[in-house]
Amino acid sequence: MSADPDFPRTAEIRSLLDDIKISANLSPRHRDILRLYYGGDTAGVNSLSEIAQLYGVNVPHAKCMLRDATIALKSSDLQRLVEAYLKGTEGGRGSAAHEENWWAISTVMFMTEKEPERLWQFIVAAYPGLNTERMKAVFAAGPIEDLLSHHGEQVIDRIEELALTDDNFRYLLGGVWRAGTPKKIWKRLENIRGSPWKD
């Protein structure tokens, strides 16, 4: 059964669906639609046309239902990633918490080059949970700095907008080093963040 090009049946999606903790965060309807399309349990794999017929809707409507369900699934994954990253970062290198949650820290590092949009979503979801100065320093010089260095043009507008509306996020920008950030992007960051942190 061929997949819709907008919704490829990837191993990542199947892995998320198979994760009991993540699936438990979904509504029954979202869970059913995802398993019908991506496969799972005894549902098999169904086309959008078949799903539309099952729910008594047209194919565009079924596609919207699948889109909403897929977003819900990925959001559940993001929540789990944020929680694990914060635990690992709070524990610090060498701690049991850091070792146990290294998968989350390494996943965030991998996002830098491969998934800048997902990294931005992670940053927005994670920064409110930074409850120590050390965690804030690691976050500023890690995910935020990496995103600006590799994808500054893509995200600087959103960074400026968030900094203007949230003083806590604006404060974090003071701990970002230039690294590989392009000059014109760095100038915009300096204008929005105020004073950099002192060493």
The two structure tokens encoding residue 13: 């999606």
Residues 162, 163, 164, 167: what is their CA dihedral angle, to the nearest 10 degrees?
Answer: 120
Give the total number of structural domains in the chain. 2
* 175 occurs within a structural domain: yes
In terms of residue numbers, what domain contains 5? 1-80
Is residue 153 within 8 Å of 176, Cβ to Cβ? no
Last residue of a domain, one of 35, 62, 80: 80
d(CA 31, CA 29): 5
Instruction: Count the residues in the chain.
Output: 199
Identify the three-state secondary structure at position 198: coil
Following DSSP, what letter does each residue of 154-180 receive, concatenated? HHHHHHHHHHHH-HHHHHHGGG---TT
Task: List per-residue pLDDT tens for the chain, 199 residues long.
Answer: 567 777 888 777 878 788 776 777 788 888 889 888 988 655 568 889 999 999 999 999 999 889 888 877 876 778 888 999 999 999 989 999 999 999 889 889 988 887 888 899 999 999 999 999 999 999 999 999 999 999 999 999 999 999 999 999 999 999 999 989 999 999 999 999 978 887 6
Residue 120 sits in the same domain as residue 58 = no
Q: How far apart are CA 129 and CA 123, in angstroms?
A: 10
Q: Which CATH number covers residue 58?
A: 1.10.10.10
Whether this prediction's pTM lies above 0.85 is answered by no
